[in-house]
Amino acid sequence: MDLLYFIFFLFHIPATLLIDSQAIWPKHFVGPQTLRAISHWYVSVSGDFLMGGSMGILRNGSELAWFKSLVYLEVLFQVPVFILGARGLWRDSPGIYALLMLYGASACTGTFACLAAITNIPTTSAAIIAQKVVSVTPQQRVMLLSSYVPFFIIPLCLAVDMALRLQKLASVGIRALESSKEK
């Protein structure tokens, strides 16, 4: 599992810094036009109203302060955790377990809110289009779920895995403490 977590963190660092962070940086700060073009393409294909709204690509951006706050959390808290976590996993350091458990709990909680929004957004129809309501096609909903679900499942597994590892370490420590008291 540590190899999966390590690869997940290494993949997540550039994805967050180059793509997701575009939602919080001023438009003139976002680097090459290519990065903006990738984001625009992704939003147009997937209908990702969360990223599109927070980046100002879609019209519902003002309604997505909650999502933008998750992007800030991702950039300011999660990116350092990705770096420290990858380093700690590489070195097989139990000292990283608590931080990874916190990250996993935080990330899967935020992603759960995104999944709720994705499953509850209206499906595109003539009536919805006429009302100018943001919606997705059934295919886009599947694409969005396939994009977001791994970012729920992997952090959830990580949180549970690290909690179990910490419990095991605590049990060993408690037994050692009790053993030293008996002497």
Q: pLDDT digit string (tens) for 105-141?
A: 999 999 999 999 999 888 877 666 666 667 888 999 9
Every domain of the chain and the residues it spans: 2-182
Pick left, alpha or beta for residue 73 (phi over 0 → left; psi -120 to 50 → alpha; otherwise beta).
Answer: alpha
pLDDT at 183 over 70: no
Percent of the chain with pLDDT over 70: 90
**Helix/strand number for the chain, H first, E second:** 9, 0
pLDDT at 72 over 60: yes
More confident residue, 179 or 100: 100
pLDDT in tens, 16-65: 988 888 888 877 766 677 778 888 888 888 989 899 888 877 766 556 88
pLDDT for 58: 76
pLDDT at 91 over 90: yes
Q: Which two tokens mark 10?
A: 């290494």
Backbone φ, ψ for residue 136 (5° rounding): -135, 155
Q: Which of 6-10, 101-105, 122-126, 164-168 is least confident?
A: 122-126
Q: How many CB atoms lie within 10 A of CB 90?
A: 13
Q: How many CB atoms lie within 10 A of CB 59?
A: 12
pLDDT at 167 over 90: yes
pLDDT for 151: 96
pLDDT at 160 over 80: yes
Judge whether 108 and 152 are in contact, CB under 8 Å: yes
